[in-house]
Structure 1
Amino acid sequence: MPERPSLTPSGLSERWGAGTAGEPAPPPALPVVAARRTGPEPPAWCRASRPTSAGVWDGLVEAARSYGVTAGEAIVAAFAEVLRTWSTTDRFGFTHVSAGARGVTAAQRERDADGRTLARRAQRLEGAGVPPSSSPVVLATALHRSAPGGARRAPVAEPSPRDDGLLGVDVTRDERGAVEAVWRWPDERWPPGAVEAMADAFRSLLERLAANGPEWTAGHLRLVPEEQLARRARTNATKTPVPGGLLHTPVIEQVRLRPHAPAVITAGRTLSYGELYGRTNQVGRRLRELGARPGRLVAVVMDKGWEQIVALHGVLASGAAYVPIDPAVPAERLRRLLRQARAGLVLTHSRIDARAAWPDGVRRLCVDTDFEGVDDGPLEPVQRQTDLAYVIFTSGSTGTPKGVMVDHRGALNALHDVNRRLGMGPADRCLALSGISFDLSVYDTFGVTAAGGAVVVPDPSPYPDPGHWARLMDAADVTFVLAVAALLEMLAAHLESGGERDRIGRLRTVIQAGDVLPVTLPDRLRALNPRVRVYNGGGPAESCVLSVMHAVGRVDPAATSIPLGRPMANQRYHVLDERLQPCPDWVPGEIHIASEVGLAQGYWRDEERTAAHFRAVPGLGERVYASGDMARYLPNGDLEILGRKDFQVKIQGVRIELGEIEAALAEHPAVASAVVVADRTVPDLPLLRAFVVAAGEGRPVVADELRLFLARKLPSAMLPADITRLERMPLNANGKIDRLALTGGPGR
């Protein structure tokens, strides 16, 4: 359809206005993407018309008069509310072009977070105008009386499309009293269906205002389309029965069914279910004698090995909960965590006991030497499902570690769902890559044994050793791996470079969780073994191991991210804005997780922090966890993770998806993996810095070549200031890429 002619209003340049007074508000932070055109051709603009029913104009006039405003002012205020719903900021500006009986005028309107009602916002419009800026969002209204005879008048204030424009909306009325809004936008800049949903919300809001609805006096309007909310309700319909028992008690049933089947496999030793159960009872019995009971914490400070699995099961058998601590932490941190956990009992290994700097007053027991001769007979469980199973300390933004308290019921809920989805059974072997201070280890330790399979434990090593993992996977017939992307990429790179793909011939399922799944990794894994099913999973420690999952099919070569998926059993995910209101599809917001059974109890001995993060949200009517993770709902009901709330990046006014730059770098044949971070050394002037690991010794990484490569794919605002080659990416204690180490920032 050809573009309609437009009239450039007086006082405006062809860029819809130039010149500012004071400090104008920035444009709304809408869910747009960076322009990808590299040639001189103009963008293709889309068009959507949304007329209201007849008589809406007259209703608006009458209702607006009762609040001391005009219908035109109400329309402008309503448009601002729609922008607010699709924007991630409360304060923003847009250009308003008005064609009236006195000609065409223009002003820059602002919407801020003052908490006023829509009626009060409309009253302030006359005083809010400043000389118009070159805003990429323009509302044009032509609402004066039609020409004699009622002939339909072509809009005279419709803005001309421009290369950097994002949205133009032309509002008119006809002789029937219908109000028509024509929305126009560059197709390449908007995700599918986003503008159409905004247009529908605007029409619906005008009709409700014309009926003098409660929206006039509402401080916050709920404009997310009902069909989107209904789809999310279906996505969150995850209620299912919670399995019975405790986290460690499924071993009892496996002992009855298959006492001689392998339960724990290491390079040097295999424990049957009968042996695991007997040693677990020895540890549990001795700990009970020393005062372990429900609600108490027993620290486990151990390297990987069969003893570690026995220790974790043994603590739960005693009735207490375990708190895992990496034996490699500095002495001061070890003392601090033991003191904070009030853990007077510690399970460790003799080689660690000899070298660790233990604080006074701590009773240590070595699993490899101190339990010989202890009765290994059955122990009757003494705790309930709602008693603590473990407390995992994670880094806190304030510098104080926070202990996430998880009960048996919450962990069981997640492990049972994983086993059900994947069909885990006695033939499965799970490679335990995660350290026990990372909550993915809960599945390694208790999930596979609940299904009757075996956990395969690598040898302890100060550094990741993918060669050892591959050999162990081959020897133990590993079928399942749950790990963060960085460890999976190391394994894939080793198998690719060494020609050892046959070592994972029995592997059938891989779940990446705890970090962002690179778009290239699923196909790399399937190239090594076509039988492998790849899943993207996630969920913070506060949502009990895993709470969301996505089966990864074919990955579009143009994709910049892989969906996080949909909520798992008894979990519900809400994406909320700063006002704790639902965000529309495509609009980023903070993930809030709700569950009656699948949330942590809170933070160990920290009521203030617990209250801040676990709270009831008005309108949801349920306790939720505010995760700090940013995501958006996609139109099919999937969630897409966007990073941390405190790691949002905006460069030169453009919202940047770091994953998009990383994906582009990974397409270069010399790059095996890439990470992009925002360096905020200079306040308010973040710089993008890229770090890459080479694909092989024979492929040099040349920064200038990579910059040229990126320049052919990305707009200038997304190009890193520098590109640094690393031998390997720095990892934190949980095996995740340590992005803060790359920026030089403090640990979190």
Structure 2
Amino acid sequence: EAPQQRIAALPMLDADEHQATIDDWNQTVADYPVEHCLHQRIAQRARASATAVAVTCGAQQLTYAQLNGRANALAHTLIARGVGPDVLVGLAVERSLEMVIGLLAILKAGGAYVPLDPAYPRERLAYMIEDSGIALLLTQPALHGQLPVPADLPVLLLEEGAQTLREDDPQTTVTPDNLAYVIYTSGSTGKPKGTLLPHRNVLRLFAATDRWFNFGPQDVWSLFHSYGFDFSVWEIFGALLYGGRLLVVPHEISRSPREFYQLLCAEGVTVLNQTPSAFKALMHVACSGPGKQALRQVIFGGEALDVKSLRPWFERFGDRAPQLVNMYGITETTVHVTYRPLSMADLEREASSPIGEPIADLSWYLLDGDLNPVPKGCVGELYVGRAGLARGYLKRGELTATRFVPDP
């Protein structure tokens, strides 16, 4: 995003220094072609691993074949209701298997999901429904009467929409450049803004980070975060694109560090994604109580990380199994921008929140108020470019123009 205020005057770089600075910051630039959409990749998984468990929630579970079939059935109904490429569909569903089915069905119909977490305040939900201009609301009977639904907004109850007998993959004209979702920012710097993200952005994110993580069918991911928070995009599709298992964490358990730790131990979770503040409470439980965890990756995002706060974890579990990773990013850059594995040696370094290196298909620059690179060791604003950028903000052309600026 553009600087909120001008940075004090800095020494000017000559032409050679200018180019050297840019080159030094962007040594790993690569491209990752995307040929399919998210739902098409998941359908491929369903054909290859039909009986593998895709999603669990409490005592319930769905195999990949069951998830794909139920999402297809709902998708056919959505198509009949006018959903197609770049059509926005609101999704207001409790954390459940049905939440994953509904989300996937919207994509299969060619549409883009707008997450409307029923746990959000009523005023926020009303604003998001009105501002997004969703063409249809997909929800559950128990929630329908509680939501601030305008009288003229079409509503489809998920259970009714899934009653069709058709479970074949719908054929649509959607492409990787069509929207997959519109997630609203927190609103901490003004009114929440709907951010437009296409399929391509998410798929290239996983392709570009695969060399670091080697995710696969053996992994169990926890869906800990609200599906209205963009960290959930990484959790949901990280599991399903690789043939892993997605563990949907009930809302009440996500609020209890002790119960959540017991759950991730019992379910053998291998990939855990956490904001630093949530992990701090979980770490206290893990370091002081029983329970054998199977984690191989703990990935931080969403907030600045105080590495020194991780000392109890490193002293209890070491710094290799699991590997702790700090990833900086924002909704507008498709979840993540950088990668930085952490170790005990970081406890002695001055940098409080090291963010590491950029994902290979992104460019990044540290610039002054006039968009000139700042000399090494000087303070500037971080600008991110290339493959991960959102399409912009929904219905906010002027704001999009000020935040998504041409690369000089």
Q: Same fold (TM over 0.5)?
A: yes
Residue deviations 1:540-580, cap 9 Å, x none?
11111112111112223353513101110310111101111
Tell me which residue corresponds to 2:3. none
How far apart are residue 223 of structure 1 and its match?
4.6
- Of 339, 350, 354, the residue aligned with 1:549 is 339
How far apart are residue 409 of structure 1 and its match?
0.7
Q: CA 1:310–1:525 in 2, change beyond 3 Å: closer, same or farther?
A: farther
> Distance between the aligned counterparts of 1:465 and 1:272, measured in 2?
28
- Of 515, 525, 532, the residue aligned with 2:313 is 525
CA contact (8 A) 1:236 1:572 kept: no
> Distance between the aligned counterparts of 1:526 and 1:257, measured in 2?
39
> Distance between the aligned counterparts of 2:19 and 2:118, measured in 1?
48
How far apart are residue 331 of structure 1 and its match?
2.7
Tell me which residue corresponds to 2:119. 328
Residue 305 of structure 2 aligns to which amino acid in structure 1? L
CA contact (8 A) 2:208 2:361 kept: no
- Of 9, 29, 52, the residue aligned with 1:90 is 9
Residue deviations 1:372-392, cap 9 Å, x none?
344222212421111111111
Q: Name whichever structure is richer in strand by fraction.
A: 1
Aligned to 1:287, what secondary structure does the other structure show? helix
Residue 406 of structure 2 aligns to which amino acid in structure 1? A
Residue 572 of structure 1 aligns to which amino acid in structure 2? S
1:477 corresponds to 2:268: yes
Q: What is the 5 A alignment of 1:328-477?
A: 328-368=119-159, 370-396=161-187, 399-461=190-252, 464-477=255-268
Which moved further from structure 2: 410-419 or 267-276?
410-419
Residue deviations 1:192-236, cap 9 Å, x none?
xxxxxxxxx8xxxxxxxxxxxxxxxxxxx3259839935744634
Q: CA 1:463–1:384 in 2, change beyond 3 Å: closer, same or farther?
A: closer
How far apart are residue 396 of structure 1 and its match?
4.1
Which moved further from structure 2: 341-350 or 276-285?
341-350
Aligned to 1:249, what secondary structure does the other structure show? helix
1:611 corresponds to 2:404: no
- Of 375, 388, 391, the residue aligned with 1:601 is 391
Q: CA 1:397–1:424 in 2, change beyond 3 Å: closer, same or farther?
A: closer
Q: CA 1:532–1:366 in 2, change beyond 3 Å: closer, same or farther?
A: same
CA contact (8 A) 1:525 1:532 kept: no
How far apart are residue 350 of structure 1 and its match?
2.8
CA contact (8 A) 2:107 2:113 kept: yes
Q: CA 1:467–1:396 in 2, change beyond 3 Å: closer, same or farther?
A: closer
> Distance between the aligned counterparts of 2:219 and 2:168, measured in 1?
28
Residue 282 of structure 1 aligns to which amino acid in structure 2? A
Q: CA 1:462–1:501 in 2, change beyond 3 Å: closer, same or farther?
A: closer
Residue 408 of structure 1 aligns to which amino acid in structure 2? H
How far apart are residue 475 of structure 1 and its match?
2.3
CA contact (8 A) 1:522 1:552 kept: no
Q: CA 1:413–1:558 in 2, change beyond 3 Å: closer, same or farther?
A: closer
CA contact (8 A) 2:181 2:197 kept: yes
Which moved further from structure 2: 251-260 or 600-609?
251-260
How far apart are residue 482 of structure 1 and its match?
1.6
> Distance between the aligned counterparts of 1:231 and 1:358, measured in 2?
49
> Distance between the aligned counterparts of 1:276 and 1:249, measured in 2?
13
Q: CA 1:224–1:252 in 2, change beyond 3 Å: closer, same or farther?
A: same
How many residue pairs get aligned? The number is 400
Tell me which residue corresponds to 2:85. 294
> Distance between the aligned counterparts of 1:468 and 1:362, measured in 2?
39
1:284 corresponds to 2:203: no
CA contact (8 A) 1:414 1:569 kept: no
Q: CA 1:234–1:617 in 2, change beyond 3 Å: closer, same or farther?
A: closer
1:260 corresponds to 2:48: no
Aligned to 1:237, what secondary structure does the other structure show? coil
> Distance between the aligned counterparts of 1:488 and 1:310, measured in 2?
28
Tell me which residue corresponds to 1:15. none
Q: CA 1:518–1:225 in 2, change beyond 3 Å: closer, same or farther?
A: farther
Residue deviations 1:248-288, cap 9 Å, x none?
22212211221010111212211110111011111211111
CA RMSD in angstroms, aligned pairs only: 2.4
Q: What is the 5 A alignment of 1:155-194?
A: none
Aligned to 1:525, what secondary structure does the other structure show? helix
Q: CA 1:574–1:543 in 2, change beyond 3 Å: closer, same or farther?
A: same
Q: CA 1:419–1:528 in 2, change beyond 3 Å: closer, same or farther?
A: farther
- Of 586, 589, 594, the residue aligned with 2:380 is 589
How far apart are residue 237 of structure 1 and its match?
3.0
> Distance between the aligned counterparts of 1:521 and 1:241, measured in 2?
36
> Distance between the aligned counterparts of 2:244 and 2:334, measured in 1?
21
> Distance between the aligned counterparts of 2:188 and 2:283, measured in 1?
33
CA contact (8 A) 1:549 1:567 kept: yes
Residue 263 of structure 1 aligns to which amino acid in structure 2? A
How far apart are residue 317 of structure 1 and its match?
0.4
Residue 441 of structure 1 aligns to which amino acid in structure 2? S
Tell me which residue corresponds to 1:512. 300
Tell me which residue corresponds to 2:280. 489
Aligned to 2:38, what secondary structure does the other structure show? coil
Residue deviations 1:42-94, cap 9 Å, x none?
xxxxxxxxxxxxxxxxxxxxxxxxxxxxxxxxxxxxxxxxxxxxx94139xxx
Tell me which residue corresponds to 1:624. none
Aligned to 1:516, what secondary structure does the other structure show? coil
> Distance between the aligned counterparts of 1:409 and 1:236, measured in 2?
23
CA contact (8 A) 1:224 1:584 kept: no
Aligned to 2:175, what secondary structure does the other structure show? coil
Which moved further from structure 2: 255-264 or 328-337?
328-337
Greater relative contact order structure (CA < 8 Å, 6+ sep): 2
Which moved further from structure 2: 478-487 or 365-374?
365-374
> Distance between the aligned counterparts of 1:234 and 1:581, measured in 2?
14
Aligned to 2:299, what secondary structure does the other structure show? strand
How far apart are residue 584 of structure 1 and its match?
1.7
Which moved further from structure 2: 583-592 or 292-301?
583-592
Residue deviations 1:138-157, cap 9 Å, x none?
xxxxxxxxxxxxxxxxxxxx
> Distance between the aligned counterparts of 2:22 and 2:126, measured in 1?
49
> Distance between the aligned counterparts of 1:615 and 1:558, measured in 2?
34
Q: CA 1:602–1:414 in 2, change beyond 3 Å: closer, same or farther?
A: same
- Of 364, 371, 394, the residue aligned with 1:580 is 371
Q: CA 1:241–1:228 in 2, change beyond 3 Å: closer, same or farther?
A: same
Residue deviations 1:357-384, cap 9 Å, x none?
3221222333345423442222124211
Identity over aligned pairs, percent: 28
> Distance between the aligned counterparts of 2:263 and 2:152, measured in 1?
39
How far apart are residue 342 of structure 1 and its match?
1.0
Q: Name whichever structure is richer in helix by fraction.
A: 2
1:536 corresponds to 2:326: yes
Residue 297 of structure 1 aligns to which amino acid in structure 2? L
CA contact (8 A) 1:419 1:447 kept: no
Q: CA 1:395–1:431 in 2, change beyond 3 Å: closer, same or farther?
A: closer
Tell me which residue corresponds to 1:667. none
Where structure 1 has 5 or more consecutive residues not aligned to the other structure, the ranges are 1-86, 92-200, 202-220, 619-748
Q: CA 1:569–1:338 in 2, change beyond 3 Å: closer, same or farther?
A: same
Aligned to 2:281, what secondary structure does the other structure show? helix
Where structure 2 has 5 or more consecutive residues not aligned to the other structure, the ranges are 1-5
> Distance between the aligned counterparts of 2:9 and 2:185, measured in 1?
32
How far apart are residue 415 of structure 1 and its match?
2.3
1:242 corresponds to 2:33: yes
Q: CA 1:382–1:492 in 2, change beyond 3 Å: closer, same or farther?
A: same
How far apart are residue 612 of structure 1 and its match?
0.6
> Distance between the aligned counterparts of 2:197 and 2:24, measured in 1?
26
CA contact (8 A) 2:74 2:164 kept: no
How far apart are residue 617 of structure 1 and its match?
3.6
Q: CA 1:536–1:317 in 2, change beyond 3 Å: closer, same or farther?
A: same
> Distance between the aligned counterparts of 1:369 and 1:420, measured in 2?
42
